[in-house]
Amino acid sequence: MEWKSVCCAVQGKGHSKKNIPCQDKVARLEMNGVQVIALADGAGSASMSHFGAECVVDSVSKFVAENFLDLIAQDDGRIVKQEILSVALQALNDAAKIHDCTLKDLASTLLVAAVGDGKFFLVHLGDGVIGYLNDAGLKTASTPDNGEFSNETVFVTSTNAAAHMRLYKGLLKKISGFILMSDGSEQSLYNKRNKNLAPAVKRLMHRTCLVDAEILTPQLEDAIKSVILDNTQDDCSIAILARNSEQLPPLNELPLSERQELFRIDGSSAFRKVRRKIFRCDKICALLAKPLTLKQLARKLHLKPHYAEKKLRRLTDAGIVTRTANGFKTYGN
């Protein structure tokens, strides 16, 4: 099953009151069959940390994607830590020159998850949480590395960064999702007492598999603004990697009510008209398991292209079907 990703960062109440930019930054990229998500939470005390966090997620995610197999193969974790830190610090040094500031002004945490070739690789420095989903459910991979007090943590620019950096690698086997979250999101998506992830994480992973990231990202931002921001003063960010599995079933294995919700079809499915709409969407999604042009799809649906496009629009708007270079394809597997 193909891995999908989504990520977003939303400015917190504390920062919007003071007109300070969102210091959480996220990135996702795919390169040579490797998928990477990264998240960095810029330090509140560092004036340019929003630039620093951006530099760190961009440089490290690119480095991990380009060197995934080498990083996995390297048995000496100290070398991997040094490589990652030197990539991040090099990018930060360049940024410090551009923004005429010190490295400390660019301080941020760093969380990365990468998958490829049946393996995973995780990096965690500072606070925030890395979680995953396997056949037994949601698990926490790496807990926040806070000091004793709430405002203490470790940053990429800290002198003891290498000592605090945690690396994890292994075979994916039955793992079908990873989530990175900043400490702002942690307030709602992680139970600090029992160190468990909130049930909501699984739903987010499932949507990541099924809904086009272009459509899902603004939905995720809205959801964070309306539900999660209320529980913290801090910026909130998350990044998710997920693939279909028994825990995250593909579209054609979902019950009617869930398909109706995903297709955004109103009304009770007790009505034949509503059910017919759902089945039509099912048929289009099945046909678009492989990419088709509009003409090809119209022919298979026995419709004129104009009508086929109209039927298709519901699914593209919902992010269930996505545009390809020549036509359309169902986003999920």
Partner 1 sequence: MNDLLRKQDLESNPTPRVPICLCLDVSGSMGRIVGGNVQNTGRREYHDGKWWNIVEGGITALQEMIGGVNLFYDNLLEDDVARYSAEICVVTFGGNSPELILDFANLDRQESERQQKISALEAHGETPLGEAVNMALDCLDTRKREFKDAGVDYFQPWLVLMTDGEPNGSTAELNRAISRTNELANNRRLTIFPIGIGEEADMNCLAKFSPKRPPLRLKGMNFKGFFEWLSASVSRTSQSMPGDKIKLDLDGLKGWADL
Q: How many residues in the shown chain lie near partner 1 by CB under 8 A?
A: 51
| Residue closer to partner 1 (CB basis): 127 or 212 | 127
When asked if residue 11 is in the footprint of partner 1 (CB under 8 A), the reply is no
Rg (CA), the chain: 21
| Residue closer to partner 1 (CB basis): 116 or 144 | 144
Query: Which residues have C-beta within 8 Å of that of residue 287, sequence separation ≥ 6?
Result: 297, 300, 301
When asked if residue 115 is in the footprint of partner 1 (CB under 8 A), the reply is no
When asked if residue 273 is in the footprint of partner 1 (CB under 8 A), the reply is no
Query: Which residues have C-beta within 8 Å of that of residue 48, sequence separation ≥ 6?
Result: 95, 99, 101, 105, 106
When asked if residue 187 is in the footprint of partner 1 (CB under 8 A), the reply is yes
The residue from 233, 269, 316, 333 that contacts partner 1 (CB under 8 A) is 233
When asked if residue 46 is in the footprint of partner 1 (CB under 8 A), the reply is yes
Subset of residues 199 to 228 that bind partner 1, contact rule: CB under 8 A: 199-200, 203-204, 207, 219-220, 222-224, 226-228
Q: How far is the CB of 148 from partner 1 (least distance, A)?
A: 7
| Residue closer to partner 1 (CB basis): 70 or 230 | 230
- Contact predicate 11/53, CB 8 Å: no
| 3-state SS, residue 123 | strand
276 by Cβ neighbours in 10 Å (0-12 / 13-18 / 19+) ranks as exposed
226: which DSSP letter?
I
Query: How many Cα atoms sit within 13 Å of 224 on the Cβ side?
Result: 30
Task: Provide the binding-site residues for partner 1, judged by CB under 8 A.
Answer: 12, 14, 41-46, 49, 107, 126-127, 146, 148-153, 155, 183-184, 186-196, 198-200, 203-204, 207, 219-220, 222-224, 226-228, 231, 233-234, 261
